Amino acid sequence: MKEIDLRSDTVTRPTKEMLQAIMTAPVGDDVYKEDPTVNKLEQKLADMFGMDEALFFPTGSMANQAGIKLHTQPGEQLICDKWAHVYNYEGGGVSFNSGVSCKLVDGDRGMITAKQVEESINPPDFYHSPLTSLVCLENTTNKGGGACYDLEEVKKIRKVCDRHGLGLHLDGARLFNAIVKNDEDPKTYGKIFDTISVCLSKGLGTPMGSVLLGKRDLMKNAIRVRKVLGGGMRQVGFMAAAGIYALDNHLGQLKKDNERASEIARQLDDLSYIGKVEPVETNIIIFYLKDPEDESKFIDELSKENIRISNMGQGKLRIVTHLDYSEEMHLHFQKVLRGIAL
Ligand SMILES: *Cc1c(COP(=O)(O)O)cnc(C)c1O
């Protein structure tokens, strides 16, 4: 059996058809905005979300960081969940790039409520505390195990932001997993949020790339911020072509990824050596062994079978399903799980 890599949905390789789309893409210099394929991808996503503007970025972190910069001034504060990717996994970029601090909210599986947002806003005329200017949400949540926001709650958060003059950014690295799972219209997100980042290199399976979507008045500075961050790229239409191909061909696959994750979670639930399995909504499974001491033995047993998963520390193990995880691998993995004795 080939290696089964379940550490992340970022480990996928481009398919033959995607490579073909890459190889045949018309390209130009995107720093001059002359790459027809990048322009086409940006237009496609802007239309899909009903957003004014879209801009291609090399990574999701850079798209988020640019989004945060567009909304804030140094010294200000944003509100996010304590598990937020923008706070935990972007190298401290919020303070490095924007000079902004984070008010962390103790949410549920990475999700926060309108009430919590309201309570976290510093009074704007109390000049001792940082001025709150932005709320960042994540959908699906990464550290929260692929949980999806209830759009009704998000709409309430929007209302709080409107009342207090705050921007609302969505880190949508895995937004398509939520959209497919809950049968949502991307335009609903476009209506609610001021800026949205989406990743093409996770569930959609491209080698690289994220897109920042937003309203015109905010996005007019986005290309300058991208330049400052070092994200202006030249004939990057080759990568945008992979994104267009993925949007046309891989969205449906996300449903399979989500289903297989549920099946794995159900099986884990039945195994005697597994402790708690967090609720699974999309393609991420977070679980614990009954005895945390067994962790390295468990990981060893899996690696003997050429299977890799993530150890997130503090007893947390993570599995992520993706495009390169086939039905054959799925059956084999479940058989291996059943055969392990700890
Ligand atoms: C992966 C991810 C990102 C972006 O990561 P990059 O590796 O910089 O592309 C942003 N937010 C969340 C929630 C993610 O899971």
Q: What percent of the chain has pLDDT over 90?
A: 97
Q: Is the CB of 61 under 6 A from ligand 1?
A: yes
pLDDT of residue 94: 98
Instruction: Calculate how far, in angstroms, residue 124's C-alpha sits from the geometric centre of ligand 1.
Output: 31
CA of 161 to the centre of ligand 1 (A): 24
Cβ of 142 below 6 Å from ligand 1: yes
User: For 263-304, how does the pLDDT look when each residue is reduced to its tens digit (9 = 90+)?
Assistant: 999 999 999 999 999 999 999 999 999 999 999 999 999 999
One-letter amino acid of 92: G
From ligand 1's centre to the CA of 39, what distance in Å?
Answer: 23
Q: State pLDDT tens for residues 195-211.
A: 999 999 999 999 999 99
CB 112 within 8 A of CB 156: no
Calculate the average pLDDT of the chain: 97
**Confidence (pLDDT) at 342:** 82
pLDDT tier for residue 313 given thresholds of 50, 70 and 90: confident
Residue 85 Cβ < 6 Å to ligand 1: yes
- The answer on pLDDT for 1 being more than 80 is no
CA of 173 to the centre of ligand 1 (A): 6
**Distance in angstroms (rounded) separating the CA atoms of residues 240 and 105:** 35
Q: What is the mean pLDDT of residues 228-235?
A: 98
Using the predicted structure, report yes or no on whether residue 139 has a pLDDT greater than 80.
yes
**pLDDT 10s digits, 65-123:** 999 999 999 999 999 999 999 999 999 999 999 999 999 999 999 999 999 999 999 99
CB of 199 closer than 6 angstroms to any ligand 1 atom: yes
Is the Cβ–Cβ distance between 139 and 172 less than 8 Å?
A: yes
- E runs forming strands in 216-321: 274-277, 284-289, 307-308, 310-313, 316-320
Confidence of residue 2 (pLDDT cuts 50, 70, 90): confident
Structural domains in the chain, CATH included, are 4-10+251-339 (3.90.1150.10), 16-249 (3.40.640.10)
Residues 62, 211: Cα–Cα separation, whole Å: 10
Average pLDDT over residues 324-339: 96
pLDDT recorded at residue 314: 81
Residue 205 is predicted with a pLDDT of 97
Residue 333 contacts residue 6 (beta carbons within 8 Å):
yes
Q: Provide the pLDDT for residue 131.
A: 98
